[in-house]
Chain A
């Protein structure tokens, strides 16, 4: 299977930074995958997303190939702060979500259909006529994800997409990701939410200081958390990994929400 994006020993530095944000990172992103990248703050997961989707093109080492053609709108990106991703020009959520397809010059009916599909997919069709500036953080987060989905990207990069969401909405968003991947897209996820990531990812990448320190099946890569270690020591049953929310769901499902 041909990789949509392939990073081969890629290094990247922000101007004026003392050390590279990414150092000799190699990663292949295949269609149908949900890759969860995780690590401590500053580990380089957000930069990995930017580089892989072509938004940080001036790499200082290695090679980067594959789908990175922003002009063709084949990469959708969602950043952690949803309010910075609004155009500020659209009076309704529908217009906001339709902005991407309209930029591609599609026919009006196709633009609106793409927007409706994306709104339905995120379960926010009821917000279509609302003013984006009046939405809550969680609603806004789903709107910006829908705006990225409306482009029907081949690679969807999500940087901590549940940062503003309540647990139920976060679950719904993460649960939608395998469906996107099944439709042929690749999802690249930077997240500290190990529990949800482990549930939906097909592959996990752990990063530290700009390097990939572990890569493989989520149940192997994401088991290193303290909570998982404690749970294991306490004799809680697998599957691993496990975070507090997952532990609570498993041990006391009635109190999990």
Chain B
């Protein structure tokens, strides 16, 4: 599941900047940490983040699906082709430093993907636009960010409609991988062409309603922010800075 999932978790109720700050901290933190244990602590933090948002199961499943090919690639690249010494894993003799490297890189990818899936699932695009509007951001910037968050769910919904229509007209799904690949054609073409055809009208409609008018937009329902949330965001920033300071201090040592 990729995209916003309505809910009432603490993350859903939090100011959107707080949720996005946490996801950004996971992203930046992932590159500051260099040891397998540290990175896997970060993966645990990402899982905790998803649990607070009430989306652990769906986000973890999607994160696993998305990062699995990368895991396989890292395992082959570093585990099988990495430098000596080797450790035995069943019939395989794997590179010990290569495995450590694969664990670090794979952990980073997993933490980042899980963090951003959670932020996507728990951040209402409407609340994000309202928060940015209240903060004085131009509507164009807020809309660009929010529509990026909604693009996948919208495409998925449209794809489902096209698939239903094509099945009504005789498209058969399933069968061999080649047959499935062939079925992508009748889906992809109308999906892309339809989206392109409608975007023109959508832009005109937004223009007609003053979206590009240049006036400072009125926030109708800005999400509440609190001193505690602001403090949390500052703390996350300080943690990231501290993580990088530690990383560079260790590198000098």
Q: A residues near B, CB below 8 A?
A: 50, 53, 55, 70-73, 75-77, 79, 81, 84-85, 87-91, 95, 98-108, 111-112, 144, 147-148, 151
Task: Tell whether, in the assembled complex, residue B213 and residue A103 are in contact, meaning their CB atoms are under 8 Å apart.
Answer: yes
Task: Tell whether, in the assembled complex, residue A85 and residue B205 are in contact, meaning their CB atoms are under 8 Å apart.
Answer: yes
Q: B residues near A, CB below 8 A?
A: 124-126, 129, 139, 143, 146-147, 150, 154, 198, 201-202, 204-221
Rounded to whole Å, the gap between the CB of A60 and the closest CB of chain B is 19
Rounded to whole Å, the gap between the CB of A83 and the closest CB of chain B is 8
Task: Tell whether, in the assembled complex, residue B126 and residue A95 are in contact, meaning their CB atoms are under 8 Å apart.
Answer: yes
Contacts of A147 in B (CB 8 A): 209
Contacts of A70 in B (CB 8 A): 207-208, 210, 212-213
A-B contact count (CB 8 A): 95
Rounded to whole Å, the gap between the CB of B71 and the closest CB of chain A is 34
Task: Tell whether, in the assembled complex, residue B208 and residue A77 are in contact, meaning their CB atoms are under 8 Å apart.
Answer: yes
Contacts of A76 in B (CB 8 A): 208
Contacts of B217 in A (CB 8 A): 102-103, 105
Task: Tell whether, in the assembled complex, residue B215 and residue A85 are in contact, meaning their CB atoms are under 8 Å apart.
Answer: no
Task: Tell whether, in the assembled complex, residue A91 and residue B210 are in contact, meaning their CB atoms are under 8 Å apart.
Answer: no
Q: Closest A-chain residue to B6, C-beta based? A: A91
Identify 23 residue pairs between A and B in the complex whose beta-carbon atoms are under 8 Å apart, listed by A's number.
A70-B207, A70-B208, A70-B212, A71-B210, A73-B208, A73-B213, A75-B208, A79-B201, A84-B198, A84-B205, A85-B201, A87-B209, A87-B211, A89-B129, A89-B143, A89-B150, A98-B220, A100-B208, A100-B209, A103-B211, A108-B220, A147-B209, A151-B209
A89: contacting residue among B146, B205, B213, B219, CB under 8 A: B146
Rounded to whole Å, the gap between the CB of A223 and the closest CB of chain B is 33
Contacts of B211 in A (CB 8 A): 87, 99, 103
B214: contacting residue among A71, A106, A108, CB under 8 A: A71
Q: Closest B-chain residue to A69, C-beta based? A: B213
- Measured in the bound complex, the distance between the Cα atoms of B219 and A105 in whole Å is 9
Task: Tell whether, in the assembled complex, residue A112 and residue B209 are in contact, meaning their CB atoms are under 8 Å apart.
Answer: no
Rounded to whole Å, the gap between the CB of B201 and the closest CB of chain A is 4
Q: Closest A-chain residue to B216, C-beta based? A: A105
Query: Do A88 and B150 contact each other (CB < 8 Å), given the known contacts A95-B126, A100-B209, A104-B213?
Result: yes
Rounded to whole Å, the gap between the CB of A245 and the closest CB of chain B is 28
A81: contacting residue among B147, B201, B214, CB under 8 A: B201
Rounded to whole Å, the gap between the CB of A219 and the closest CB of chain B is 32
Contacts of A105 in B (CB 8 A): 215-218
Task: Tell whether, in the assembled complex, residue B208 and residue A148 are in contact, meaning their CB atoms are under 8 Å apart.
Answer: yes
Q: Closest B-chain residue to A82, C-beta based? A: B205
Contacts of A90 in B (CB 8 A): 126
- Measured in the bound complex, the distance between the Cα atoms of B216 and A77 in whole Å is 22
Most chain B CB neighbours (cut-off 10 Å) among A71, A88, A106, A147: A88
- Measured in the bound complex, the distance between the Cα atoms of B216 and A106 in whole Å is 9
Contacts of B150 in A (CB 8 A): 88-89
Task: Tell whether, in the assembled complex, residue B146 and residue A104 are in contact, meaning their CB atoms are under 8 Å apart.
Answer: no
- Measured in the bound complex, the distance between the Cα atoms of B198 and A57 in whole Å is 20
Task: Tell whether, in the assembled complex, residue A100 and residue B220 are in contact, meaning their CB atoms are under 8 Å apart.
Answer: no
Rounded to whole Å, the gap between the CB of A205 and the closest CB of chain B is 22
A102: contacting residue among B146, B205, B218, CB under 8 A: B218
- Measured in the bound complex, the distance between the Cα atoms of B220 and A100 in whole Å is 12
